Amino acid sequence: MSKLFKMVILGSPGSGKGTISSRIVRDFGLTHLSSGDVLRSQIIKKTELGVTAQKYMKQGQLVPDKLMVDLITSELAGLETSRWLLDGFPRTKPQAEALHQHDKLDLVLSLEVPDEVIIERIKGRWTHLPSGRIYHTEFNPPKVAGVDDVTGEPLVQRVDDSPESVAARLKVYATNTDPLKEFYTQLGLLQTFHGTESNEIWPRIHKYLHTLMPALSGPF
């Protein structure tokens, strides 16, 4: 399990990046770093960066590239492992180019889920902000409604999950994603998985990852 493995997961807001990432962590033992979770923890701590980022996030807009690159490269430098999974970063071609200067990736996964499926499912998302654990009223309900399974703390709905903000986030993703995917296609790293249900997409991703590294456990 010591071999290096550095990967990125791309996908529209609500496409299931966090959901699939938690299964990759469970079955392949990678360390998960979500740019959204890092930003939300800065907001909770009321840091200068958090205060700045919150203004963009509320509106469903991207936080400026320079801030994101500095934040995420310093988080990566602080990890004690070189087996990691980045979720939500990079999101623009300049971010991807900057990351490429720091780290050579082994794989980029892209989740392709139709917008109409996403708009419906995001309405049911509940999040435990301190840990980033995600739930869904039907797909993945907590054991007790409104409460995190692990800590017993309250769950919240993200401010950027309002219908207006989700529409803005989908638009922003659509604008930035082609150059990003093109960048990774040229590097020969992009693997795309289409579908409407995480439970249907996941076994295919598991099977593919298993060709690249040993699994700790099976897909189901």
Residues lying near ligand G5P in the complex (CB under 6 A) are found at 11, 13-19, 35-36, 39, 56-57, 60-63, 68, 88-91, 95, 121-122, 125, 134-136, 138-140, 160, 169, 197-199
Minimal distance in Å, beta carbon 11 to Mg ion? 9
C-alpha dist (Å) from residue 186 to 86, 102, 136, 209: 20, 18, 36, 20
Close Cβ partners of 81 (under 8 Å, ≥ 6 residues apart): 31
Residue 110 C-alpha from the chain's centroid:
11
Closest to ligand G5P by CB, 98 or 107: 98
Annotated catalytic residue 158: yes
Is 125 a residue of the active site? yes
Q: Which is nearer to ligand G5P, 95 or 177 (CB)?
A: 95
Rounded Cα distance, 100 and 61, in Å = 23
Which residue in the shown chain puts its C-beta closest to ligand G5P?
36
Active-site pick, 23, 91, 93, 121: 91
Active site residue 91: yes
Q: Catalytic site residue 104?
A: no
Q: Cis peptide before 90, with omega less than 30 degrees from 0?
A: yes
Biggest CA–CA distance in the chain, Å, is: 46
User: Site residues for Mg ion, window 17-56 (CB under 5 A)?
Assistant: 17-18
Q: Which of 17, 40, 93, 133 is catalytic?
A: 17
Q: Which one, of 111, 91, 85, lies nearest residue 14 by Cα?
A: 111
Residue bearing tokens 């950027």: 160
Tell me the catalytic residues: 17, 91, 125, 158, 169
